[in-house]
Structure 1
Amino acid sequence: MTLLPDPASLVNEDRADGSIYNNALLYDMEMDRIFKRNWIWVAHRSDLPDPGSFITTFVGQHPVIVSRDRKGEVHVLLNRCRHRGATVCEHKSGKAASFVCPYHGWAYGQDGALRAVPQPKGYGDSLDKSKLPLVSLRVEDYNGMIFATFNADIMPLDEWLGPAKIWIDLFMKQGAGWPIKTMGEHKFTFPGNWKIQLENTTDAYHFPIVHKSFLDSVDNQTQNIFDFVEGDGFVEDLGNGHSVMVMIPELVDLEENLDAPIPERFQKLAEALSKDYPPEKVRQIVRAVGGSGFNLNLYPNVACSMAFFRVLRPLAVDETEIRHIAIGMDGGPEIANEVRLRLHEHFQGPLGFGTPDDSEAWDRVQRGALAGYNIDILLNRGLEHEAKRESGLLFSDVTAETGMRAAYRQWLTDMTCETAIEEAAQ
């Protein structure tokens, strides 16, 4: 009989055993103890603009429908008919008055309530529709970010996010005074463990090496902006596995420094905007178009990464789905949103300079971690000069692995939680 690994023996403060990437039993534990018991990001408010709007997605490995009912309330429902288990919605997004199972025609409302059953007389008096709604998950949101969880006892989302809320608010300033909206996505899979990608979003150390082709593709002014490894940036542990990596400090608050010169690459955009907007608004829009100067990692599955949402979904111990979701200004000038999309394509797109190079590195980590036994993955960069702010939050320089240590600290808490262990044993 194969025994479950002891998570406490695999992760330390400054290192982790390489098997965390390739142990299938450990992966199964993660799906129960992390992806069923934490807040998982499922959608942005703009994905559900109207009553009846819905999208389909996943909470861990569980297919769900995220819907807005007629009263405007958001629901996250397991995409599984209560009769025989068939999915009741196969569309990626849309509007629907109800969700009807294609197998036997059971129909559910936008809130998941069972509304109708064909030929109900066949059940006699045994069918109580009020007791057979689609299973509903707990749902909360913050500043347009919608999260769901199976865990009815988890702390409120507001508490779970903690100091990360400040950074979410800063990230949303990319709307330049308008709300943020999603503008499509690039989705792909890579043959590696989900934690490899989680680490990457808080890893500035790799940027000048892995992304040299990107740096070679931009003008000198842009190269200087992205030359942040020796700069004044930092990585900060925000608690509960969250972290922020500030690469370009002058672009943290996009509503500041509006008098700064407009970068050369945005001059044509500024000229076009000046036909419809006053100079101060033009500067605000242009500054927002370039994106924020930081990556915010929200454990375990989403990052607000400079100018887009990066969402991970574990598919198997050695396979992960990644979604790069472009964002723009909801109600803002279309020309500005078009420039944002072109910038997104340049780095994150399937033919861009960033995503293919990152994916190659992740693939190599997964394959390399299979070599040998009892060889550690090092997580100690920046540890010797890590310090505490007055708030008690740990921080270090921009190339430090402080964010990775934050994530693995929460990983260890989740994986060794007595409640989770008891439930897994039942």
Structure 2
Amino acid sequence: MTHPHPHAPLVESDRVAGTLYTDPALFEREMDRIFHTTWVWVAHESEIAKAGDFKMAWVGRRPVIVSRDRRGGINVLLNRCRHRGASVCETPKGNGNGFTCPYHAWSYGLDGSLRGIPYPEGYEDVVEKKDLPLQRLKVASYAGMVFASFSEDIEPLEDFLGGARLWIDRFMKQGAGYPIKVQGEHRFRFNGNWKIQLENTTDWYHFPIVHRSWMSSVDAETASMLSIMTDESAVTHALGNGHSVSISVAEHADLDVDDGTEKLQDRFSHIVEELSKDMPPEQVRRIVRSLHGAGFNLNLFPNVAMSMSFFRVLRPVSVTETEIRHVALGLDGGPEIVNRERLRIHEHFQGPFGFGSPDDAEAWNRVQRGVAGGVDMPILVNRGLGREKPNDLGQPTSHATDETGMREAYDMWNRMMTDDN
């Protein structure tokens, strides 16, 4: 499928071509020019906390293994045997001494080094094990977030994250003095292009419409917290490099800041009572204020969002299919009653029987179906253009219901897809 107007740009300041969701050739180019060249999120360090821990992940459509070796180093390895190409790991997560190919039993260490070849006689003077490790990706971490890239000469991760680093740091403050840990995840697929979901995380315009059922299922205090349509403190900042942040609860944008006037929600009174047995009041208050997570959604281009109290990870499967992981977070070493409550909150919205994820997925499916019926019509990302202004840091800023974050993501998409350097 080709763009109906071959001389028209695919991305403009206020719109993008419908073929961005439907063109298989564009999708293939995205895999090469975006997912296989930039920093892609693969894990949180809590998922590989101990030596020998590993998990499977994806960088675009390439399967990888994230492992913690015996020296404590983090490795990201292409899940492909150097002999005849079979995957060497099909266990989603675990702990072990290495990885063995099921086809001919070539075995590799946690760092990807080739350790053993059965019946080595046929390889004498043919193969040196040191020359055939599993392919290693470049790896870097920031605040426990592990990223990998197939590009060896990529810019430092901190430079790529840029203005998003402040918000990553603030997001982690919901640990209330404890480190953040992954508690589990819900994984599903929808029949739509990956960029439909990429747009969604900083799209508060849809929230009171798509999530009416969720709004009616929670207590009035929680619903009021996220009623932001006319809240002037609810803003979105474009952070550069495709990243953006949308602030929905300004008083929770930095959880270290508390003027003491905010009333703790009645729904958490049993937690206050339990924690107060062993903790000082200020620590109890700090933990309970953090139960809903941070007061913002942070979108990191191209594949992970840090959304209030969970990670949302996207994986492009095909031009019309995307896998989503909703990763629940808890306090590592924190009170069990708090981690249980955070799981219940997560399940209520993000879980398979929750009020949020099914509604989102249906909306994303319908976008794909509708666009396929009219690919010659543009996708509009123009909401708020007339009121978008730079903040003190020079970051384009507008209301949280505006499409500032989408424009930032598509600007980065355009740069990566058209840069021939």
- TM-score with structure 2 setting the length: 0.97
The superposition leaves residues 106-149 of structure 1 with CA deviations (integer Å, 9 ceiling, x where unpaired) of: 01011000011011111121111111000000000000000000
Using the alignment, how far apart are the partners of 2:322 and 2:7 within structure 1? 21
Q: Which region of structure 1 is more displaced relative to structure 2, 388-397 or 401-410? A: 388-397
Offset of residue 87 of structure 1: 0.6
The superposition leaves residues 238-297 of structure 1 with CA deviations (integer Å, 9 ceiling, x where unpaired) of: 000000000110111112216232111111111111112111110011111121110000
Q: How does 1:40-119 map to 2 (within 5 A)?
A: 40-119=40-119
Using the alignment, how far apart are the partners of 1:405 and 1:2 within structure 2? 23
Query: What is the identity, as a one-letter code, of the residue corresponding to 1:78?
Result: L
8 A Cα contact 1:235 1:244, kept in partner: yes
The superposition leaves residues 294-321 of structure 1 with CA deviations (integer Å, 9 ceiling, x where unpaired) of: 0000000000000000000000000000
Q: Residues 88 and 392 from structure 1, CA distance in 2 versus in 1: closer, same or farther, beyond 3 angstroms? A: same
Using the alignment, how far apart are the partners of 2:285 and 2:7 within structure 1? 50
Gaps of 5+ in 2: none
Q: Residues 234 and 77 from structure 1, CA distance in 2 versus in 1: closer, same or farther, beyond 3 angstroms? A: same
Q: How does 1:126-165 map to 2 (within 5 A)?
A: 126-165=126-165
Gaps of 5+ in 1: 420-426
Q: Which region of structure 1 is more displaced relative to structure 2, 174-183 or 221-230? A: 221-230
Query: Counterpart of 2:318?
Result: 316
Q: Residues 27 and 400 from structure 1, CA distance in 2 versus in 1: closer, same or farther, beyond 3 angstroms? A: same
8 A Cα contact 1:7 1:415, kept in partner: no
Q: How does 1:18-417 map to 2 (within 5 A)?
A: 18-231=18-231, 232-257=233-258, 259=260, 260-417=262-419
Query: What is the identity, as a one-letter code, of the residue corresponding to 1:269?
Result: I
SS in 2 for 1:375: coil
Offset of residue 10 of structure 1: 1.0
Using the alignment, how far apart are the partners of 2:99 and 2:259 within structure 1? 48
8 A Cα contact 1:303 1:309, kept in partner: yes
8 A Cα contact 2:382 2:403, kept in partner: yes
Aligned length: 419
Offset of residue 372 of structure 1: 2.6
The superposition leaves residues 373-398 of structure 1 with CA deviations (integer Å, 9 ceiling, x where unpaired) of: 42111010001111112322111111
Using the alignment, how far apart are the partners of 1:369 and 1:326 within structure 2? 32
Using the alignment, how far apart are the partners of 2:26 and 2:4 within structure 1? 7
SS in 2 for 1:146: strand
8 A Cα contact 1:5 1:25, kept in partner: no
Q: Residues 96 and 4 from structure 1, CA distance in 2 versus in 1: closer, same or farther, beyond 3 angstroms? A: farther
Using the alignment, how far apart are the partners of 1:302 and 1:340 within structure 2? 20
Query: What is the identity, as a one-letter code, of the residue corresponding to 2:338?
Result: A
RMSD: 1.5
- TM-score with structure 1 setting the length: 0.96
Query: What is the identity, as a one-letter code, of the residue corresponding to 1:191?
Result: N
Using the alignment, how far apart are the partners of 1:145 and 1:5 within structure 2? 41
Q: Residues 291 and 414 from structure 1, CA distance in 2 versus in 1: closer, same or farther, beyond 3 angstroms? A: same
8 A Cα contact 1:7 1:416, kept in partner: no
8 A Cα contact 1:8 1:416, kept in partner: no
Offset of residue 3 of structure 1: 9.6
Offset of residue 220 of structure 1: 1.4
SS in 2 for 1:122: helix
Using the alignment, how far apart are the partners of 1:94 and 1:156 within structure 2? 29
Q: Which region of structure 1 is more displaced relative to structure 2, 66-75 or 260-269? A: 260-269
Using the alignment, how far apart are the partners of 2:254 and 2:383 within structure 1? 27
8 A Cα contact 1:8 1:412, kept in partner: no
SS in 2 for 1:162: helix
Q: Residues 6 and 312 from structure 1, CA distance in 2 versus in 1: closer, same or farther, beyond 3 angstroms? A: farther
Do structure 1's residue 13 and structure 2's residue 13 form an aligned pair? yes
The superposition leaves residues 320-351 of structure 1 with CA deviations (integer Å, 9 ceiling, x where unpaired) of: 00000000000000000000000000000111
Using the alignment, how far apart are the partners of 1:3 and 1:296 within structure 2? 31
Using the alignment, how far apart are the partners of 1:267 and 1:182 within structure 2? 25
Q: Residues 4 and 63 from structure 1, CA distance in 2 versus in 1: closer, same or farther, beyond 3 angstroms? A: farther
Offset of residue 66 of structure 1: 0.2
Query: What is the identity, as a one-letter code, of the residue corresponding to 2:237?
Result: E
Q: Residues 20 and 98 from structure 1, CA distance in 2 versus in 1: closer, same or farther, beyond 3 angstroms? A: same
Query: What is the identity, as a one-letter code, of the residue corresponding to 1:23?
Result: D
Runs of 4+ that moved beyond 6 A: 1-8
Query: What is the identity, as a one-letter code, of the residue corresponding to 1:130?
Result: K
Query: Counterpart of 1:423?
Result: none
SS in 2 for 1:418: coil
Offset of residue 4 of structure 1: 12
Using the alignment, how far apart are the partners of 1:40 and 1:153 within structure 2? 15
Q: Which region of structure 1 is more displaced relative to structure 2, 307-316 or 368-377? A: 368-377
